[in-house]
Amino acid sequence: YALRFAFVLGTTTQYRWMLSEAVFLVCSLAGNLTSPFLFVVHALEFFRGESARLLLASATLHLSKLGQAVFLMMLVVYMYAVIGFQFFKERHTEGTCRTLLNCAVSYLDGGLQSQGLHGPLTVMAPHSLFDSPLTDWFLQLFAMTFLTIFVQVLMAIFTGVIIDSFGELRDRQGEITSHLTEPGHLLSHNTHRDYVNFFVFLLMDCADDGRELTDLEEYIYTEVQRGSSDWLPYRHNLELQKKRAQQGEAEKERGSAAEVVREQLA
């Protein structure tokens, strides 16, 4: 890590990379000198990979939707905790519903474990349609509705938001990759080397403030200075655009000639 830190320090000016390498170096030294448990910090390097960052981004892309789902989950837990604490307090197991907060935490724990209220509550399945107490029927319905709403619906919505975010990011990345690999794209590998060299030369030329710029160079220089890329060809390079324009004009001329011939024949 000392060699890596020296290499990064000499090859980059990004403070983010230098800070991360400094943290890894300090934790490496502290792990050798004090406690080996500090080596666990190096596991954070896993998130430098493209796949790990994609997974992390999918969990944080739609935070507002995830927050709304969490709010609904907490609201459902609170409502069921109030009902259970008020009407079924004696049917809870020991230490699961002494207070309203204790009851809500027990319900939330049961919901996150996908077991519903069968852990906090002592639910007895009715054995007869007429002989079973009415309380057992209500308690069974109470536990089943919580399991359906919290586990089957709200938890599915929460995980569905993350899965949709992952699919959206994957499609976006695939679109960018396919866009950059188009044969006529400005940044594709099939673009002529002379055109790319001229593009680099033009940018370097525009960066020179020591001479008067032409109108085109001044326009490009202004766009680059304000961080805009509107001046770049979006889909194809200039040669293909010129060829397509010529093909369009030729088709228009052929169409006009065919129309003149039809008028003469008529």
What pLDDT is stored for residue 192 in this prediction?
46
pLDDT in tens, 209-245: 555 667 777 777 677 667 666 666 554 555 556 677 7
Question: What is the distance between the alpha carbons of residues 97 and 100, in angstroms, rounded to a whole number?
Answer: 7
Q: Report, as an integer, the average pLDDT of 90-108.
A: 86
> In DSSP terms, which residues pair with 176 in a beta bridge?
none
Q: How many CB atoms lie within 10 A of CB 258?
A: 10
pLDDT of 76 > 80? The answer is yes
Query: 5-20 b/e with 16+ CB inside 10 Å = b?
Result: beebeeeeeeeeeeeb
Q: Report, as an integer, the average pLDDT of 44-56.
A: 75
DSSP secondary structure of 216-239: HHHHHHHHHHTT--TTS-SSS-HH
Instruction: Give the highest mean pLDDT range of 18-27, 127-136, 179-188, 211-220.
Output: 18-27
Phi and psi dihedrals of 20, rounded to 5?
-65, -40
Contact criterion met (CB below 8 Å) for 40 and 28: no
Please report which confidence band the pLDDT of residue 7 belongs to, taking 50, 70 and 90 as the band edges.
low
- Pick 138 or 202 by higher pLDDT: 138
Token representation of residue 124: 């007895």
What pLDDT is stored for residue 8 in this prediction?
61
